[in-house]
Amino acid sequence: MPHPRTDPAWGTLLDLGERAGGPLHLRLGRALRAAVVDGRIAPGSALPPSRALAADLGCSRWVVTEAYAQLVAEGYFEARGGSATRVRTETAGRAPSYGRRVQQAVWKPEFDMLPGMPDLREFPRKRWADAVRHATGTLTPTDFGYPDPAGHHALRERIAAYLVRGRGAALDAGQLVVCGGTLDGVLRLSRALRAAGHTHVALEDPGWSRLRTAVTAAGLTVVATPVDGDGLRVDLLRREPHVRAVIVAPAHQFPTGVVLSPPRRAELIAWARETDGLIMEDDYDAEFRYDRHPVGTLQGMAPERVALMGSLSKTLSPALRIGWTVVPPGVPGLLDGLYAADALGSPPPVIDQAAFSRFLESGAYDRHLRASRLRYRRRRDSLLTEIAERLPEHRVSGAAAGFHLLLHLTGCAAGDVVRGAARRDVRLSDLAGFTAGGAASPGGGALVIGYGNLADPALPEAVRRLADAIREAGGPVAPAGRVGPAGPAGPIGAGGAGGAVGPAGPAGPAR
């Protein structure tokens, strides 16, 4: 946002009100006054020089200087020798406006433990800026025209190569469409499915609530399908004969953190083949696995039945709005459906696409992933240590992956803990908020603890405040005397499909 005193008012539309009559300098004064009161000219804005505004309006300079002088006398403008005439800052707030900047009260907690956000402090600013500079200098004049709806050709080639190399996918660049993130890909696929005659889409329950919104917005009905310790309940999916499409996160389910087991993978693929169905694979954070090599994509096992979706939201930043969808060749008309006028979403700018292409080509993306993997692994281990010290009665679950885990509460309600933590300037998520019905689980429920964007030094204090909120809600915490310097975390309870969730093992080589 520009500083108020450097925000020019030169482009403001002025209604001189010819029908109202009167001398031109009075009509100009009324128009300028209305623009200030309405907020279309912000306080502190510089007015055009009288000579320039007179030329724009096709009038004499005297008309403008008279209007300015009148508004200076009324206190709307201020004039200083050797400087531009400006709107006085004291004019702010005189009346409601449609142009004035709106300042919303957004809670920015001291400790934000919401899941799904990567470490924004570690965004590779210099390397990304270098990539943008390189892309801007090497794009052809044709590249600055209307973009290819499938995405920039060089980026499609490089993403395809990365997915084959790093995620075990099976595709060629012609199957890949660059989109504005995973939700954009889901919306496009859902609209294409509806055009092809689909009426329902199954989603994991609990799951990412915005997926439900995107599917519903496309005119499809959501069928919530439960998840257990082995992942999606395919047996329950088979009981829904009107469902021939499902969205699943097999490598690291959100928010439970379980991994789709090998038998379930085989069962899900068999279901898709038997029903002539489509599996939409949400591969949102699979690069971050800490106890073993990342699990390969489901798409690599059945490329003719799986649409693979990914983005940079978890690996680099959600602000980039760059994602991709790999369309299976075995589903007729699906690729054409993604290009249809009513299916097109919001593709990222071509310069950003070319910059990420350069980022991939230079090896900067692989280096960033390797550094991020080590950083998140250490942070997760530290978080588990703090929880083991302060909250030994509460079970932790979820695979050693991504940057969130589940804390299963004993003796207190998750909603009460969330509210108590908020009073301590800590933001948390209740697992119930990710279920289809929004109902709390019996036995107190669970918290979805995100640690991706939490600074390492902040972990002890964040967990201490969490423990205070749990104590206030009636849950057990470690006595103050037992909480000392953190030692090795050791295994903490049983994870879902991921097994025990103690300190992570070797992160594995970068992919």
Helices (H) and strands (E) in the chain, counts: 14, 16
Is residue 36 located within the same domain as residue 181? Answer: no
Is residue 152 located within the same domain as residue 57? Answer: no
Residue 447 counted as domain residue: no
**Identity of the amino acid at 393:** E
Q: Please state the three-class secondary structure of 263-317 as a single string.
A: HHHHHHHHHHHHHCCEEEEECCCCCCECCCCCCCCCCCCCCCCEEEEEECCCCCC
Residue 473 counted as domain residue: no
The residue ranking higher by pLDDT, 502 or 206, is 206
Residue 483 counted as domain residue: no
Residue 39 counted as domain residue: yes
Is residue 218 located within the same domain as residue 169? Answer: yes
Beta-carbon contacts of 195 under 8 Å, excluding residues fewer than 6 positions away, are: 333, 337, 340, 342, 343
Is the pLDDT score of 52 beyond 80? yes
Helix-strand-coil split of the chain, %, nearest 5: 40, 15, 45
Is residue 84 located within the same domain as residue 33? Answer: yes
Q: What whole-number distance in Å separates Cα of residue 169 and Cα of residue 326?
A: 10
E strand or H helix that includes residue 86:
strand 86-87
Considering 299, 333, 366, which residue would you say is the last residue of a domain? Answer: 366
Residue 277 counted as domain residue: yes
Query: Are 218 and 191 within 8 A, CB to CB?
Result: yes
Q: Using a CB cutoff of 8 Å and minimum separation of 24, what contacts does 102-105 make?
A: none
Residue 507 counted as domain residue: no
**168 phi/psi in degrees, rounded to 5:** 70, 25
Q: Which one, of 453, 359, 470, lies nearest residue 413 by Cα?
A: 470
Is residue 208 located within the same domain as residue 251? Answer: yes
Q: How confident is the model at residue 442 (pLDDT cuts 50, 70, 90)?
A: very low
Q: What whole-number distance in Å separates Cα of residue 29 and Cα of residue 65?
A: 10
Is residue 81 located within the same domain as residue 152? Answer: no
Beta-carbon contacts of 420 under 8 Å, excluding residues fewer than 6 positions away, are: 468, 469, 470, 472, 473
Is residue 180 located within the same domain as residue 44? Answer: no
Highest mean pLDDT among 38-52, 207-221, 283-297, 380-394: 380-394
Is residue 195 located within the same domain as residue 241? Answer: yes
What 3-state class would DSSP assign to 112?
Answer: strand
Residue 427 counted as domain residue: no
Is residue 339 located within the same domain as residue 272? Answer: yes
| DSSP, residue by residue, 199-243 | -EEEEEES--HHHHHHHHHTT-EEEEEEEETTEE-HHHHTT-TT-
Considering 306, 331, 366, which residue would you say is the last residue of a domain? Answer: 366
Average pLDDT, the chain: 85
Is residue 184 located within the same domain as residue 37? Answer: no
Query: Are 477 and 470 within 8 A, CB to CB?
Result: yes
pLDDT at 490: 37
Mean pLDDT of 233-251: 96
CATH number, domain of 11, equals 1.10.10.10
Predicted model pTM? 0.77
Is the pLDDT score of 238 beyond 90? yes
pLDDT at 342: 52
Q: What whole-number distance in Å separates Cα of residue 260 and Cα of residue 252?
A: 8
Domain count for the chain, please give it. 2
Is the pLDDT score of 293 beyond 70? yes
Residue 469 counted as domain residue: no
Domain region containing 268? 124-366
Highest mean pLDDT among 8-17, 67-76, 83-92: 67-76
Longest Cα–Cα distance in the chain: 84
Is residue 83 located within the same domain as residue 183? Answer: no
Q: What whole-number distance in Å separates Cα of residue 156 and Cα of residue 115?
A: 29
Residues 77-115: tens digit of each pLDDT: 888 776 788 888 765 444 444 444 555 557 789 999 999
CATH number, domain of 153, equals 3.40.640.10
Considering 366, 398, 417, which residue would you say is the last residue of a domain? Answer: 366
**Parallel, antiparallel, or unpaired: how do β-strands 306-311 and 323-326 relate?**
antiparallel
Both tokens of 240, joined, read: 């829904």
Q: How confident is the model at residue 3 (pLDDT cuts 50, 70, 90)?
A: very low
Instruction: Calculate Rg over the CA atoms of the chain.
Output: 28
Determine the distance from the C-alpha atom of residue 384 to the mean position of all C-alpha atoms in its chain, rounded to a whole number. 25
State what percent of residues in the chain have pLDDT above 90.
Answer: 62
Is residue 253 located within the same domain as residue 201? Answer: yes
